[in-house]
Every structure is written in C-alpha cells, then in structure tokens.
Chain A
C-alpha cells in the first residue's frame, strides 16, 4: 500500500521557475526521502531528512518536514529542462522498508 501522497500529481513550469511538490504520509517515520525517476526507470536518491529535522538543503533542492502535520515539501529552485522527471517521496519507519507515494510528474519547458 502507498504511504505517501504527492501533490500535485502533475506540474508544468517554465525553465528558471521554482517547482514545489508536497507529500503527506500517514504513520510515524524515522526519515523521509525524495527520489527522482526518469522515463519510468532509474530511481535516483535526492535528499533525506530525518524525523528530528525541519529543513534541509542540497544544491538547488530544499526539503522541509513537518511531523505534526505529517507532511513534507520539496522545492527545486531555478528549474532546468533536465529536471523533467517524476518525483517520489518515500518514508522509512522503524524498519528498513521504504514506502513510496504515487509521485509528481514535473515537466520543465525550455
């Protein structure tokens, strides 16, 4: 079963704009991770935020986590055409299993 729900399901923006994706989940977590996937294959790990962290940055990525609302957001600044992909949030509970959402399809138009 899917734990996370990404919002929106699809997002289309122009190059240079910022993209924000949201994720909500249901149960308590150890950490939350964001992944990118191109062409239905090849999941690439982007960033991990632990349950005791509220914000994390990596390059053009900014992730926030609100455990009281069981939600996270991923911000991609100054988007590029190469950022076009599906983005998934995945939560990890007390075991090693990752539970993924359905993903947000981001299209960055040149």
Chain B
C-alpha cells in the first residue's frame, strides 16, 4: 500500500509542553526508525525498533524523549517538557529488517516541530 506516513506534518508548541509524533510504517515492515534533522544537517538517528521492542535507543538525546511501538506497527515518539532546541524535522523510516537484507529504509515526509 502507501508509503510511510507521519502525523502531524507540522506541530507548533510552547516551551515546556508535551508532544506526540506518530509514524505509520509500510505494512509488513518489522523495523522502524526515528531520526531527527536540524536545519542544514543530515538526519541523526534516535531509536530503532525491531517489532515491538526498542533494539537500539542510543540516539535519544535525554530522558525527555521516549518512543513506543506497542503492537509492532504504528510508533509514537513522545517528547516531554519541550525545549527550543528540540525544534527540528522528525523523520520516521521503516524497512523489512531482514537479517542479511539490503535494509533499504523508506522514509516518511517528516513532522516539523517548532518549539516557541
């Protein structure tokens, strides 16, 4: 079916607020990734899910960031007590995640988060 979708496409919030960003991966893709892209930079890895579990969360900048994928499909990235430095485009990607596969990651259009 469709590619990776992300909602909302834009989110403006105030410093200190809580936000949730949603990612719908390609159907059947077991691997899901979150990246963050600041202006003028390449995407930076945040977290990787294989199925329901976070296989690698080493890119999360601090404990204000948390992500879940309870049923192994849709994922939500949650940011508590947002700071102005959290402003960026948050990208989600999915792949088949097969061992030995090409691991081509298909990216969504991103959510542009602006913290005022």
List the A residue with the shortest CB-CB distance to B46. Answer: A97
Q: Which of B15-23, B62-70, B75-83, B102-110 contacts A (4 or more CB under 8 A)?
A: B102-110
Answer yes or no: A78 CB below 8 A from chain B CBs: no
List the A residue with the shortest CB-CB distance to B105. Answer: A98
Answer yes or no: A26 CB below 8 A from chain B CBs: no
Contact (A100, B44) CB under 8 Å given A42-B109, A42-B110, A92-B103: yes
What is the size, in residues, of chain B's interface with A at 8 Å between Cβ atoms? 30
Q: Are B48 and A96 in contact (CB under 8 A)?
A: yes
- A residues 31-69 near B (Cβ < 8 Å) are 31, 33, 35, 40-45, 48
Contact (A102, B43) CB under 8 Å given A45-B104, A92-B103: no
Q: Are B107 and A42 in contact (CB under 8 A)?
A: yes
Question: Contact residue range for chain A?
Answer: 20 to 34
Answer yes or no: A77 CB below 8 A from chain B CBs: no
**SS class, residues of chain B in contact with chain A:** strand
List the A residue with the shortest CB-CB distance to B43. Answer: A100
Complex CA–CA separation, A2 to B38 (angstroms): 12
Q: Are A2 and B109 in contact (CB under 8 A)?
A: no
Answer yes or no: B42 CB below 8 A from chain A CBs: yes
18 A–B contacts from the bound complex (CB under 8 Å):
A2-B42, A4-B42, A35-B107, A40-B39, A40-B89, A41-B109, A42-B109, A43-B91, A44-B107, A45-B106, A48-B102, A88-B42, A96-B33, A96-B103, A97-B48, A100-B43, A102-B42, A103-B41
B: which residues have CB within 8 A of A?
Answer: 31, 33, 35, 37, 39-45, 48, 50, 55-56, 59, 89, 91, 93, 95, 97, 102-107, 109-110, 112
A: which residues have CB within 8 A of B?
Answer: 1-2, 4, 31, 33, 35, 40-45, 48, 88, 90, 92, 95-103
Known: A88-B42, A97-B45; 20 extra A-B contacts, CB below 8 A, are A4-B42, A31-B103, A33-B104, A35-B107, A40-B37, A41-B89, A41-B112, A45-B104, A45-B105, A45-B106, A88-B43, A90-B42, A95-B48, A96-B31, A96-B33, A96-B55, A97-B59, A99-B45, A100-B44, A103-B41
